[in-house]
Structure 1
């Protein structure tokens, strides 16, 4: 049983190392930039003078702050 397991393991390792070889000397072409679609934007100014822009997206509860 140990010989069978060892032989299967060694064949699996050999097969995965020889499966694909990539030519690393050629750089891949960059993919096209995705089109970003934003919803309706709201902007307002706080009492301290900070300007706030809000874009609502209810798919995920995410908050992003950039100062």
Structure 2
């Protein structure tokens, strides 16, 4: 599960993540979500919904 948008800044500050350290999971998370979405589409709707959520959140951050 992806932390809520409001919490991500607090998380980043708390762990002291620099730009490169923060960029890596932002690339990793949507790649896993894109793989999981079609896999779980019919067999695990909550997991598919989480994948859609992760994709939407990452895209919202980058626009």
Question: Which has more helix, going by share of residues?
Answer: 2
Report the TM range for the smaller structure's normalisation: under 0.3
TM-score (norm. length: structure 1): 0.19
User: Structure 2 length as normaliser, TM-score?
Assistant: 0.19
Question: Whose strand fraction is larger, Structure 1's or Structure 2's?
Answer: 1
Higher relative contact order (CA 8 A, sep 6+): 2
